[in-house]
Each structure stands twice: as C-alpha cells, then as structure tokens.
Amino acid sequence: MAGMLGCVRLWAAFCLLSLCCAVDTNKERALRLMAETPLIDGHNDLPWQMRKQFNNQLNKVDLNSIKTTHTNIAKIKEGRLAAQFWAAYVPCDTQYKDAVRQTLEQIDVVHRMCQKYPQSFMFATSSKDITDAFAQNRTASLIGVEGGHSIDSSLGTLRTMYQLGVRYLTLTHSCTTPWVDNWLVDTGSEPPIHNGLSEFGIQVIKEMNRLGMLVDLAHVSEKVMEQVLNVSAAPVIFSHSSAYAVCPHKRNVPDNILRSVKEKNGIVMVNFYNDYVTCSKTANLSDVADHFDHIKKVAGPSIIGFGGDYDGVTRVPHGLEDVSKYPDLVAELLRRGWTDSEVKAALGENLLRVFREVERVRDTLNGTQPGDIPIPYEEVQNPCRTSHGYDPVDSAGNPIPLSPLLLALTALLSWCY
C-alpha cells in the first residue's frame, strides 16, 4: 500500500512538473514572438491619471516607478509594450463647456511624457514611427482622443488636433454629441437623437479619412457601427472593446459587426475591464483569452488586437493586474493552440496593416479640399456658444438687420452663465 501511494505521489509530481515546463515553454515562446513583433495596445488612460492624481503636474511624478497606476516605465518594459495609443480623454461633463481646452491639455501631457523620458518613449504619428521605435527599443507613443465631444462639433478643431499628433478619434464616449449617438442608446437609458450619425457626423468620418485619422467605434451605438462601416473609405478600429457573445454588454461588439469589421479589414482590440470581460465584477486572464478565441472563431485572427484600457478602469482581471502582464496573456493564447503567425497578427501586425491602409486612403485623397460646411447652428445652439459666422448676410456680405425681438433673443442665447 505504501509503495502504491509513493507511486501516486511520484506520478502527481511528474504531472505538475510537466505542466510547469509547458507553461514555461509557452512563456518563453511568447517572449520570443514579442521580441520579433511589436505589441501595440489601442487604449491606455495614463494621461487621465496624470490629470486626476497630479493635475497634469508631471514634474511631481516619476513615471519610472509610480505605484498608483497600472502603468509605469518598469512595467511597460516587463510587459514588452512596444507601442501605445495614449488616450486624450476628458469627461462628458466638459461637453459644451471647456472640452477642447481640457483635451488640448491631455494632448500636451503625452508630448511632455515623451520629452521627459526620451529613452523610454518616442512620440509617434505613423505606422513607420511604430516600427522605428520598436527597432530602437522604445515605446511608440501615439495619441487617441476619446470622445467626439472633444472637438466641439468643429472640423477645424479636428484638423488642428491631427496636426498636434492625434491619430484616432473615438466618435463618442458615454454621451451623445450633436452629431453622433453613444452606446447608452442601445441600453434604453438614453433616447437616440440622430438615429446613428447626423449629416455632419458623416462629414466628420469623411474628413477623418482625408486626414488619415483612424475612426474608433468603441463607445458608439450599434447603428453608428453599421453606418460608419458603410461610409468610411478606410478600415475602422475598436480601440478597447470585447465580444458581445461572450459578455452581452452594450460596450462590446456583436458577431454581425465582427464579420463586417472583417469585410472592412478593420480591427477589434480586446478590452480587459472585468465588466466587459465577464459582465461581472470579477474576471481572470483566461476569461480575456475567451474573447480572443471567440473573435478568431467568428471573424478570423486578422481582426484581433489588444486594447487593455489600463488606468481607465477600476477593475482588471486576476493575472492581468497591470501592463507588465501582457506576456502571460500571449502565453495563454499559445497554450490554447494559437499559431505563431496568429499571435503575431494580434500583437501588432493587424494594427499596422489597418494603419497603413488608413494612410494609403489619405494619400489617395491628397489634393481633396478639406470639408468646411459647419454644423447647423440650431444643432449646437446653447447658452455658452456664440453665433459668429452664422449671422445672416446679404449677397454682398453685409449684415442683414434683425428685428428687435430676434436681436434680443440672439443676445440672450449668446450669454454664457
């Protein structure tokens, strides 16, 4: 009997050792693939943490070792994070107030991060910059503006942000703008205002195509997803969304949209927020891998990417506590039978393909005049917005006198309380 128990224990120890070796082999393979292909993450809110914790006073922060965020330079290096779209995010309560100013300040934070830590971060605005930074062993730092309220319904503001380095715009956050409905419409908690995109919203998409700015459909309603996939001349991204079939949260992407993204050669970058991973407060690394598996099953490995949403969420899965943990997720995909080529596609090749196609569309539109038809004033009229440029003029450009009543009404609406 004692001999039999000894054999059982020996066999159990052998099985455990074999499992550990397999895990180690997958981790080693993951690190090798990440040394060959840049890991590109679609969304990280570290700049917002700089606002919340330090009011953007970077001189008070050491990003090498800060412990109050999911992200610091040491963790970035351990996680082999080769390129990051940093979110220039400001909350929806800034809409119709100071959203543009606050967004510009978040763009400034990303620039200053790169200036303060040039050995670690390289400011990037193109697909080539990403590969160049990878060759230099620096993290390519790109900017995505999260929420259409940040452009204040202005194509001129959109263009200016592009000139400052912004390379994607998330069309909405959790608020509807004067030209596009947000995802809460699909929950029934907010009414649809535009039935998707307004005419001006369509103009925004076309201008983004002309500029070479990635269109991000995270946070929009399903109707908007469908419309943009039909309107955009370039492939689209979901910078931080997961699979609706795995977790039926309206922030996630339904199977029919996944297939449309595949047809459009776009990308869905999987979010790590517990509430979007398991539709509950808790989740683990394996649960996140389930989303990767499902998207691959429905639409193939060519539309998958990483969009962790670190530092923008309050709960992250066990095993993915911070940005240092990416290799563990890659190892899990390998354990599940993903091939080297499939993993490399998800790491960065898919996003690079999308980015290059967006740049190609931009180049084909070279010489096309910028869109400059302003949004109708009645669609943006509010007490904090003036009407300069909208005032009526005659054919010679002379102001048309208004009736005293209309003048009084115009003056009243132009006051900002």
Q: Identify the CA nearest to 161 among candidates 178, 179, 149, 177.
A: 149
Q: Report the alpha-carbon distance of residue 411 to residue 376 in Å, rounded.
A: 18
Determine whether 70 is exposed, middle or buried from the number of CB atoms within 10 Å of its CB (0-12, 13-18, 19+): buried
45 catalytic? Reply is: yes
Cβ neighbours of residue 149 under 8 Å, at least 6 residues apart?
Answer: 90, 92, 94, 95, 99, 172, 173, 175, 177
Q: Identify the CA nearest to 270 among candidates 293, 290, 241.
A: 241
DSSP state for residue 56 in the 8-state scheme: T
Tell me which of 149, 194, 240, 291 is the catalytic residue.
240
309 catalytic? Reply is: yes
173 catalytic? Reply is: yes
Tell me which of 146, 181, 186, 287 is the catalytic residue.
146
Q: Identify the CA nearest to 239 among candidates 143, 334, 111.
A: 143
Tell me which of 70, 149, 173, 291 is the catalytic residue.
173
Tell me which of 41, 43, 222, 322 is the catalytic residue.
43
Q: Encoding tokens for residue 170? A: 């998330």
240 catalytic? Reply is: yes
| Single-letter residue type at 282 | T
Cβ atoms of 88 and 144 within 8 Å: the answer is: yes
Q: Encoding tokens for residue 403? A: 């009736």
Helices and strands, number each (H, E), in the chain:
16, 9
Q: Encoding tokens for residue 303? A: 């539309």
Tell me which of 219, 249, 291, 294 is the catalytic residue.
219
Tell me which of 216, 309, 322, 342 is the catalytic residue.
309
Q: Which residues are part of the catalytic machinery?
A: 43, 45, 146, 173, 219, 240, 309
